[in-house]
Amino acid sequence: MHPLSGRRDATASHLESGRLCVLTSRHRHAFVVVARAGIAELLDNHPPTGRVQLNVPVKFPDGWEANHAVLAHLSNHRVLT
């Protein structure tokens, strides 16, 4: 289950990129993501609030950006029910 599925808010804990790492890397035979509609809209309503500094590399992947990237990739393989 996607960590933002069914949520009305997106806290820093839910946006941690490590949650996506666990979601996408623990499978052994198949990989199926079950999620409710509205995750992209939820992310857009709760943009990242961290400081951004020019010419300073980010040490850890940004969870907000990682969630959008994963959703964009998975949208090509989407099955609607």
* pLDDT tens digits, one per residue of 4-60: 777 777 777 777 777 777 777 777 777 777 777 788 888 888 766 667 677 877 665
In a domain, 64, yes or no: yes
In a domain, 51, yes or no: yes
| pLDDT given for residue 58 in this prediction | 64
In a domain, 57, yes or no: yes
The count of domains in the chain is 1
Give CA torsion, residues 35, 8, 40, 70, to 10 deg. Answer: -50
| pLDDT given for residue 1 in this prediction | 64
In a domain, 26, yes or no: yes
Calpha distance 50→52 (Å, rounded):
6
| pTM of the predicted protein model | 0.59
In a domain, 10, yes or no: no
In a domain, 61, yes or no: yes
| pLDDT given for residue 39 in this prediction | 82
Name the residue range of residue 36's domain.
17-77
